[in-house]
Amino acid sequence: MMDFENARTTMVDCQIRPNDVTDHRVIDAFMSVPREAFVSAAQRPLAYIDEDLPLSSGGSKRFLMEAMAMSKLVQLADVEEDNIVLDIGCGSGYSTAVLSKLCNSVVALECDEALAAQATQTLTELGCDNTVVVTGALESGLAKEGPYDAIFVGGAVDFVPESLLAQLKDGGRLVAVEGTGNAGVAKLYTRDGDVIGANEAFNSSVMPLPGFQREVGFTF
């Protein structure tokens, strides 16, 4: 039987620590969440490899983000203990569980009903009592539960809608990877009053989230 605890330690020591993740709270959060609980039984032996893992659900192409990229994004979000966080595209709930170790509460938004149900069940079984999973369009966010201290976008997007940035508190942060493949760049958006700032943080290639694609117009 696989030693998942040892695999988790190896993931942290070989994938997370060497890639500029130095925040001990973030490292401890990844150490404390059993990644294998958020994939299918057949995938559990692969839960800690340094690749994105497909999440099986009704034909939607969704993935569990590799730990290296996810941990760097979580660190970039600079989540504090009293924060309320919106986790967009939570998938099976792994990112929600990690974020729940860092903040006051997490509102997880998922467009796939089957994944949302899976996330709710797993988070409940793990005792992540400061989380709630809501089904809805990812690009719309969840304004009725906001504003938020931090918004974590769990996949690549073509752009970040103004409607999401509007759900940040004053001083709030939003992290997302804009662009796909080798063109992907992790960005940190911050709100200062009515002013939104954006800074490029690092290159990152992660799988895309549905709902954030730009419409391609006709060219002549």
Reported as a single tens digit per residue, the pLDDT across 26-65 is 999 999 999 999 999 999 999 999 999 999 655 568 999 9
Domain parsing of the chain, residue ranges: 4-203
Nearest CA-CA partner of 177 in 146, 198, 148:
198
Band (176; pLDDT cuts 50, 70, 90):
very high
Taking the C-alpha atoms of residue 200 and residue 179, their distance in angstroms, rounded to an integer, is: 12
Name the E strands within the chain: 53-55, 62-64, 84-88, 105-110, 131-135, 148-157, 168-178, 185-192, 195-203
pLDDT of residue 57: 54
Q: Is the pLDDT of residue 131 over 90?
A: yes
Can you name the residues that pair with 189 across neighbouring β-strands? 174, 198
Q: CATH second-level architecture of 4-203? A: 3-Layer(aba) Sandwich (3.40)
Query: What residue type is assigned to position 107 of the chain?
Result: V
> Does the structure show a pLDDT above 70 at 66?
yes
* CB within 8 Å of 184: residues ≥ 6 apart: 156, 177, 178, 203, 204, 205, 206
When pLDDT is averaged across residues 172-192 and rounded to a whole number, the result is 95
Please say whether the beta carbons of 92 and 118 come within 8 A.
yes
Rounded mean pLDDT of 135-160? 97
Q: Please determine, for residue 120, whether its predicted confidence score (pLDDT) is greater than 60.
A: yes
pLDDT confidence bin for 181, thresholds 50/70/90:
confident
